[in-house]
Amino acid sequence: MNSIDTRELAAWLDQTLQPGRFRDYSPNGLQVEGKASIGHIIAGVTASEALLRAAIDRGADAVLVHHGWFWKNEDPRVRGPRRTRLALALAHDLNLFAYHLPLDAHPKLGNNAQLARVLGLVPEQDEAGLPRTCGPDNLVWLGTAPGIEHFGQLAARAAERLGRAPQAIGDAQRPIRRVAWCTGGAQGMLADAVDAGVDAYITGEISEPTVHLSRETGVAFLAAGHHATERYGVQALGQAIADRFGIRVDFVDIDNPV
C-alpha cells in the first residue's frame, strides 16, 4: 500500500483549498496530529464518534471531514462527547483533517460545485471563467437549471437525486430561469440571493424568518438537507487525494436526517 507523509498531505490540502482566504468558524487543516505517514483515509461529512469508530474498525490512519472540531463560541472544556472523540483519535493515533468553508467554495472539488453536478445545475461564469457568486466570502453560487421549468420540478429533482424530500417554500408552478445555491446551513444568505435576482434558492437548512422572506420576495426556497447537500465535496476531495498520491480513501456516510 502506498503512503504519504502527513505533513506533505497537509501542505497539499492547504495549497489546494486555500483556507487563508476565508473567515471561518473553526480551524481548517490538520486539527489533530496522528501517525507520521498515511496510507488509508476515511472521509465523511462530520467527525462524529461514529465516523471515528468506523475509521478505527477499518484500520485507517486519518479521517478527512467537512465538519471538524474546535468551533468558535463552543465550550472549550474536554468532557462528555468531546472527550470521547478526542480520546479515540489520540488512542489510535488518527490524524484529523477538516475543511469547512474552503471545501464549500472550491470551484471543482467543493460542495457547491459537486451539488451542481448532482442536481444538474450550470454555474454562471465571471470574466476569469470562475463561478459567478454573491454573499459573504462569495459562497453563494449563481446559475441555471436546464430542463427545469417550474419550482415543483426543481424540488422533485432534489428529492430524487439527494434521496430525501426537501422542504419547499413557494408556488410549485413558479417559473424557474435563474437559481442560486449554497450547501449546508446557508439560509441566512437568502437575502443575497434575492438581491442577485434569482427565482429560487437552494441550501440545506431553513429557519423561521426564511419562510417570510421567501414569501414576501417571491423567491422560492428549497431546504434540501444540511447533510444531504454536503456529502459530495469531501468525496471529490478524497478521490483527488487517491488519484494524486495513490493511497486508499473510503467514504463512510453516517446518515443524518437534518
Identify whether residues 204 and 111 lie together within a single domain.
yes
Q: Which helix (H) or strand (E) holds 227?
A: helix 226-229
- 127: domain range? 105-229
Q: How many residues does the chain have?
A: 258
Identify whether residues 192 and 115 lie together within a single domain.
yes
**Is residue 68, in this structure, part of any structural domain at all?**
yes
How large is the average pLDDT for residues 54-76? Answer: 97
Q: If you write DSSP's letter for every residue of 4-48 in order, what string do you get? A: EEHHHHHHHHHHHH-GGG---SS--EEEE---SEESEEEEEEE--
**Is residue 256, in this structure, part of any structural domain at all?**
no
CATH number at residue 50: 3.40.1390.30
| 40 assigned ligand-binding residue | no
**Is residue 10, in this structure, part of any structural domain at all?**
yes
* pLDDT (0 to 100) of residue 163: 96
- Determine the residue type at 89: A
Identify whether residues 142 and 182 lie together within a single domain.
yes
Identify whether residues 59 and 149 lie together within a single domain.
no
Identify whether residues 206 and 244 lie together within a single domain.
no
Partners of 89 in the beta sheet? none
What would the pLDDT profile of 192-249 be if each residue is shown by its tens digit? Answer: 999 999 999 999 999 999 999 999 999 999 999 999 999 999 999 999 999 999 999 9
What would the pLDDT profile of 236-252 be if each residue is shown by its tens digit? Answer: 999 999 999 999 999 99
Instruction: Give yes or no for a contact between 100 and 66, defined as CB atoms under 8 angstroms apart.
Output: yes
Instruction: Tell me the pTM.
Output: 0.96
* pLDDT (0 to 100) of residue 77: 96
- Distance set, CA 18 to CA 28, 38, 99, 123, 163 (Å): 9, 21, 10, 21, 31
pLDDT band (50, 70, 90) for residue 1: confident
**Is residue 257, in this structure, part of any structural domain at all?**
no
Identify whether residues 132 and 204 lie together within a single domain.
yes
Identify whether residues 163 and 206 lie together within a single domain.
yes
Mean pLDDT of the chain: 97
Identify whether residues 222 and 145 lie together within a single domain.
yes
Count the domains in the chain: 2
What would the pLDDT profile of 44-62 be if each residue is shown by its tens digit? Answer: 999 999 999 999 999 999 9
d(CA 5, CA 14): 14
What b/e string do you get for 81-120 counting C-beta neighbours within 10 Å, with b at 16 or more?
eeeebeeebeebebbbbbbbbbbbbbeebbbbbbbbeebe
Identify whether residues 78 and 33 lie together within a single domain.
yes
* pLDDT (0 to 100) of residue 94: 98
How large is the average pLDDT for residues 109-130? Answer: 97
Residue with cell 451542481: 116
How large is the average pLDDT for residues 23-38? Answer: 97
| 212 assigned ligand-binding residue | no
Q: Does 106 have pLDDT greater than 90?
A: yes
* pLDDT (0 to 100) of residue 151: 98
Q: Which residues have a Cβ under 8 Å from the Cβ of 250 and sit 6 or more positions away? A: 40, 41, 42, 43, 58, 60, 238
| 67 assigned ligand-binding residue | yes
**Is residue 38, in this structure, part of any structural domain at all?**
yes
